[in-house]
Structure 1
Amino acid sequence: MRQKIVRLVLVGGVLVLAMLLLLATCGSGDKGSKKSAKQVRTSATPVTQLTVPNAFETKHGWELVSTSPDYAISRSTGRLAYIVRVSDTKYQLRTIDSETGEAGWHGENWRPPSPQNFPRLLTVTAGDQEYFVTWSYGKVGENALTPADTIVSMDIYGVEDGSRRRVEVPWTSVPAVSASGPAVLINDGRTNSAVVDPVTGRVSQVTAAQLKYPKGCADCKQLTEVRGLAQKGLLLSGAKEFWVQDGWFSRDVAPKGTDRVSGIPTSVIPGLVLAKWQLDKKAKRAATHDLWAVHDLETGKALASVECSKPAIKPGQYPQLVSAPSGGFLVAGPLAFDLVTKRGFCFEGTEGAKPLTLVSVNDEGIAYGAANARNAGDVLAGGGTPVAVAVRSGSTGALPSNVRLPGAVTSDGVGLFRWTDEKDRPHLIGYPAAR
C-alpha cells in the first residue's frame, strides 16, 4: 500500500402508509486477509438474528465483531469502513461492501497517540473524491511534557484504493474534528481552527484574529464559535446570528415569519445546516414556538422548515441532524424533513402523546425512533417505545416493544444494527431489506 507521511507545522492562510403499517406489524490497498475475513460473517453464514422491524431480513446479512464505535460509509462506492484493535497499542482500518459484507481493502497497522482508546472515523469529500479519515489526539512520545508535544494525528485514505496520507497537526486543547465541507476541520470549540486538505495534506490555521464578521452585527462578536466548513470558508455563529465567511449571512436568508436576527445553528452535516429561529414578535405563537429550518450550507437558502413548541427541544440538548443516504429526507430528535416537498414535521408530543426521538431514515422516507427516550443514544440502547414514521406523510406507527432500531440504513436498504454479547464484545450487523 502506498503511504505518504507528512508532519506539518500549522501554516497561515416514500414509502406510503401501507409500507409504514408493514413496519409496525412486528495505493492499491491490500485485499482482505484471512484475518480480516474472519472479522465478517457474510450472508453465506448464519448471522445473529435480532428482533428488528419487518422491513429487514434477519436470516441473511453480515456481522462484524469487536469493532470500533464509529463506522463510515462511502456514498460513491458503498464501502463501509471500520477500525479494529490488532494489539494493545495498534489499530487497523478495514473495509467491506456494505451490501454483501465482502471484505475489501485494509490499511496498515498503526499506533495512535492515545492507543488506549479507539481512534475516531469520518468521511470527507473533496471535489468528486471521497476519503475515510481516522483521527486521534494525544501526546507524541513517552517523554512529552509540554502542550507543544500534543497533536491531532490523521490518516487519510482514498475510498477507492486505500492509499494513505499521514498528517499530524500540533494542537494544545481537546479538539473537535468534523467534515461538513471539502476538508477536515479541527477546532477548539471556540474561534481557533485548522483546516486539513485531504488531497494534499496541507494544513491551514485560522486564528480568532483572522475571522471576518458581517457588517452591523454586534451579536456576531459575542460568543463567537466555529461551527463547520463550507466551500467558501468557515461557518461561524455569534450570540444570535450566523454566517459563512466570504459567503452568506443568516440575516439575509431568514425564513419568512421569523425574527431575522435570531438564528442559531444547532447541527451541521455535509451540505446542510439545521437552525433554530424565533418567530416574528407579531406572530400569534411567538411566545410558545420556534421555527426550525434546514439551510443549504453553500447558499444559506432555507430548504424546509417547521414550527415546534419551545419546550420540545431544550438548549444544550440540541439533536444532531441525520440524513438519508440520498439526502432527500432528514431527521433530528422530534424533527423530520422532506426536502423534495419542502415540508417539515415536529413530533413533539401534543395532546398527551409522548415526544419522539428519531435516529435514522432511509431513502424511502421511513424513519425510526422511539417515544419517551432521553436522546438518540438512549433509543439505540433500547430506551423508549419504538416507532416508525413515514416522513412524506407525517404518519407514525408503533413497533413491537422489543425491536432494535437501525442506527443507519444504507442506499441499498441494508439496516445497520448494534448489540453487545455476553463477553462484552460489540457487534455490528447488516441486515438486507426484506423482499
Structure 2
Amino acid sequence: MRQKVVRLTLVGGVLFLALLLLLATCGGDPDSGKEKDAVPVKRVMPSAGPVTRLTVPPQYATDRGWEIIGSSPEVAVSHATGRLAYLEQLNGNRYRLRTVDTATGRLGWQGQAWRPPDPLHYPRLATVTAGDRQYFVTWSYGKAGDGLTPASTFVSLDVYDVTDGARQRVEVPWSGAPDVDTNGPEIVISDGKANSTLVDPVTGTVSELSADELKYPKGCPACKQLTEVYGQTAAGLLVGGAREFWVRGGWFSRNVAPRGADRGSGVVTSVAGDRVLAKWALAKKAKRVATHELWTVHDTVTGKPLVSVECHRPAIKPGRYPQAVLSPSGDHLIAGNLAFDLAGGRGHCFEEADGSSHLALASVTDDGIAYGAENARDAAEALSGGGLPVAVDFTDWTTEQLSRNARLPGLETTGIGVFRWTDRQERTRLIGYPRTA
C-alpha cells in the first residue's frame, strides 16, 4: 500500500513540474517577472507555412514569412546585421524594445520595460551609426518633477547596442519641442534653429553648441539668416542658412556647387545617412532658370555633388520638403517625385510636361525598384494605403501600376520586404515577406 502511495505521489509531482514548465514557457518575459501584460507576438518562421496574406507587389512571396502583432508605429533597422527593432507597449504606460532577425523571423534580444516622460505619445525610434558600431535609439520629450519643485522638461534617450542590447540612458534638459537627428555619428538635438546639443552614442557624452560656435563661412550674410542645424556628418555638423550651407569646420556649399547651378543658392532639403539632398537655383544665364530648379545629391564628407536632375519649380513653395530615403546599400536614393541611381550616376524627376507631379515615392531596394503612390500627398500617406500604388524601375524609369489595394514595403533588408498594416482591433502588425527573385 505504501509503495502505491509513493508511486502516485511521484506521478503527481511529475505532472506538477510539467505544469510549471508549461507556465514558464507560455508566461511573461523574464525581464518583467510575473507580468503578463505584454502585447502578443506571433512568430512564423519562413519554412513554417503561411502568414497573413496581404495584397503586395508581385516581387514578394506572401505564402511564407514572419509576422509580429502589436508593433510600434515606427521601426528601426540595422542593415549591417539584418536586425529590426520595434517597441511593444505594456500596461501602465510602459514600453519595451524588442528585436527580430529579418532573415529568419527569430526574435532576438529585448530591453527592459521603461516609462517615457510623455504619456500621450509613442516614443520615437531610429538607428544611429558611429564608426563601425550601430545603435538603436528611442527618444521622447516630456516633463518630470518631484512635486516640490516645478517640473523640468527634457529629452530622454535610450541607446541600445544593436548586437547585444546593452543600454545606456541619457537625459538632456530641453525647452520647447526638439528636433532629433540620428544620421550620425552623433545624435543631434536642435531647436529647429541654430542651437543644438550633441550626444555621443558610444560614451553618452553630452555637449552643447550655441549659434556663435557654428563657424559661419566668410562672405556669406545669408548663412546667418534662418540658420538651422540639420545634423551631424562624419566631417562635422551640417548647418544651413536662408541660402548656402556648410559643414562646421569643413566644406562650404559655394565651393562644391554642381555644374549649372547658381553657386550662392544652395538649400538643404533632406539628409539620409552620408548623403545630403540639396535644391539649387539654375545659373542666371540658363535657359530654364525661370521655370526649373536643380536637385543634387552630395556626399556629406566632402560635399562633392554626385548626381543632379532638373525639375520644375513648384507653383507654391511646400511647407516641408520630402524626406530622402536610401536603399540598404546606399546605391539608390528617393525623395518625393525624385529618384537617383547613385551607382550609375543618373537621376530622374517624375513630372508632367506642364510641371505637375502626382507621385510620392516611399521606399527603394538594392535592385533599383522604388515603391510609392500617385495622388498621395507624401510617403507616409502612400505607406498607409493612400493614392494609387506604383512600382518604379530605375533601369528605364518606367512606372508600373499595382493593385489598387496593394500594400507597399516600408523597407527591405536581407531580401525581406517589411510591410505594416492595422487590423480590426487597431493593432499594428509587421509582416516580413521574402523577395521572390
Q: Do they fold alike, i.e. is TM over 0.5?
A: yes
Q: CA deviation at 1:351?
A: 6.4
Instruction: Note if 1:376 corresponds to 2:364.
Output: no
CA separation of 1:399/1:139 partners in 2, compared to 1, >3 Å: closer, same or farther? same
CA separation of 1:312/1:427 partners in 2, compared to 1, >3 Å: closer, same or farther? farther
Which structure 2 residues correspond to residues 96-175 of structure 1 after superposition, within 5 A?
96-141=100-145, 143=147, 146=150, 149-175=152-178
Residues 322 and 331, structure 1, Cα contact 8 Å, conserved in 2: yes
Residues 387 and 398, structure 1, Cα contact 8 Å, conserved in 2: yes
For 2:422 and 2:180, the matched residues in 1 are separated by: 27
Any idea what the Cα deviations from partners look like across 1:301-339, whole Å, max 9, x if unmatched? 011110001128843231110011001001101000001
Residues 179 and 228, structure 1, Cα contact 8 Å, conserved in 2: yes
Q: Which residue of the partner structure matches residue 52 of structure 1?
A: 56
Q: CA deviation at 1:289?
A: 0.5
Q: Which residue of the partner structure matches residue 62 of structure 1?
A: 66
Residues 242 and 249, structure 1, Cα contact 8 Å, conserved in 2: yes
For 2:222 and 2:333, the matched residues in 1 are separated by: 29
Q: Secondary structure at the match of 2:314?
A: helix
For 2:315 and 2:371, the matched residues in 1 are separated by: 18
Q: Which residue of the partner structure matches residue 17 of structure 2?
A: none
For 1:369 and 1:83, the matched residues in 2 are separated by: 25
Greater Rg, structure 1 or structure 2?
2
Q: CA deviation at 1:144?
A: 7.9
Identity %: 57
CA separation of 1:122/1:30 partners in 2, compared to 1, >3 Å: closer, same or farther? farther
Which of these residues, 85, 89, 92, is aligned with residue 88 of structure 1? 92
For 2:148 and 2:410, the matched residues in 1 are separated by: 38
Aligned length: 405
For 1:156 and 1:222, the matched residues in 2 are separated by: 34
For 1:168 and 1:124, the matched residues in 2 are separated by: 17
Q: Which residue of the partner structure matches residue 12 of structure 1?
A: none
- Which residue identity is paired with 1:124? V
For 1:160 and 1:30, the matched residues in 2 are separated by: 20
Q: Secondary structure at the match of 2:377?
A: coil
Q: Which residue of the partner structure matches residue 75 of structure 1?
A: 79
Q: CA deviation at 1:400?
A: 1.9
CA separation of 1:313/1:182 partners in 2, compared to 1, >3 Å: closer, same or farther? farther
Residues 31 and 103, structure 1, Cα contact 8 Å, conserved in 2: no
Which of these residues, 427, 431, 434, is aligned with residue 433 of structure 2? 431
Gaps of 5+ in 1: 1-28
Any idea what the Cα deviations from partners look like across 1:77-136, whole Å, max 9, x if unmatched? 111000011222211000010122100000011111113321111111111110111111
CA separation of 1:312/1:403 partners in 2, compared to 1, >3 Å: closer, same or farther? farther
Q: CA deviation at 1:72?
A: 0.6
Q: Secondary structure at the match of 1:40?
A: coil
Residues 337 and 357, structure 2, Cα contact 8 Å, conserved in 1: no
Provide the TM-score with structure 1 as the length reference. 0.89
Q: Secondary structure at the match of 1:57?
A: coil
Residues 349 and 356, structure 1, Cα contact 8 Å, conserved in 2: no
CA separation of 1:37/1:296 partners in 2, compared to 1, >3 Å: closer, same or farther? same
Instruction: Note if 1:238 corresponds to 2:238.
Output: no
Q: CA deviation at 1:152?
A: 0.7
For 2:61 and 2:399, the matched residues in 1 are separated by: 22
- Which residue identity is paired with 2:131? G
Which of these residues, 317, 321, 325, is aligned with residue 322 of structure 1? 325
CA separation of 1:120/1:132 partners in 2, compared to 1, >3 Å: closer, same or farther? same
CA separation of 1:59/1:313 partners in 2, compared to 1, >3 Å: closer, same or farther? farther
Q: CA deviation at 1:263?
A: 0.3
Q: CA deviation at 1:422?
A: 1.1
Q: Secondary structure at the match of 1:251?
A: helix
Q: Which residue of the partner structure matches residue 225 of structure 2?
A: 222
- Which residue identity is paired with 1:384? G
Instruction: Note if 1:202 corresponds to 2:205.
Output: yes
- Which residue identity is paired with 1:398? Q
For 1:343 and 1:216, the matched residues in 2 are separated by: 33
Q: CA deviation at 1:392?
A: 3.2
Q: CA deviation at 1:268?
A: 0.7
Q: Secondary structure at the match of 1:341?
A: coil
Any idea what the Cα deviations from partners look like across 1:178-235, whole Å, max 9, x if unmatched? 1122111100101110000011100000011222100000100111111111123211
CA separation of 1:218/1:352 partners in 2, compared to 1, >3 Å: closer, same or farther? closer
- Which residue identity is paired with 1:184? I
Residues 42 and 100, structure 1, Cα contact 8 Å, conserved in 2: no
Q: Which residue of the partner structure matches residue 362 of structure 1?
A: 365
For 1:38 and 1:427, the matched residues in 2 are separated by: 11
Q: CA deviation at 1:138?
A: 0.6
Which of these residues, 40, 43, 47, is aligned with residue 41 of structure 1? 43
Gaps of 5+ in 2: 1-28
For 2:40 and 2:424, the matched residues in 1 are separated by: 20
For 2:376 and 2:170, the matched residues in 1 are separated by: 40
For 1:144 and 1:264, the matched residues in 2 are separated by: 47
